[in-house]
A = this chain, B = another copy of it.
């Protein structure tokens, strides 16, 4: 792509660095911003930078936060003895969006994956164990992606918490709403049969 302005070219290059944004899309976005009034572009630019400079990670659960403690941990209306363990911030947003969960979180920052060089020390596992030992935690719910890495992480943490009297559960695995039995893989189908639920609990949902 040939540009007659290096200012335009640099802006397009910056946008094209973002994941999933190619040169053509970047040009479309930059030309859109070029059409906006300067204060509006200033707002865009400052908001992004402010986010990067000022955002904090909750000292308790490692979720993104505006203060030292995130708004979820600070909310006394939520069950403080129910911890949902997730891989990353995106999972917190996904679960919060269901508006069905009333406990708090613990963000691991990943899952154990030796092939990617991620061991337990790279994750917020020690902090979780400390939390469970110090705080009065009734239940830990693992909400990790159902794959080998997720299962390994659950197994590792479970062993670490062996001595602590805490209930450990994992979110249900089965066939997704709207899914079709015919196209479901064997492992999921087998698990959904062995973990079958009484019909009342199903209808109550």
Contact = CB atoms under 8 A, between A and B. Distances in A.
Indicate how many identical chains form the complex: 2
Interface residues of A, number: 57
Contact of A20 (B18, B25, B48): B25
Nearest to A36: B52
A65 B5 contact: yes
A51 B34 contact: yes
A50 to B, nearest CB: 7
A38 to B, nearest CB: 6
B49 A41 contact: yes
A178 to B, nearest CB: 19
Q: Is the interface of A mostly helix, strand, loop or mixed?
A: helix
B96 A4 contact: yes
Interface string A15-47: 101111100010111111110101001111111
Contacts of A8: 51, 55, 64
Interface of A: 1-8, 10-11, 14-15, 17-21, 25, 27-34, 36, 38, 41-55, 63-66, 70-72, 89-90, 92-93, 96-97, 99
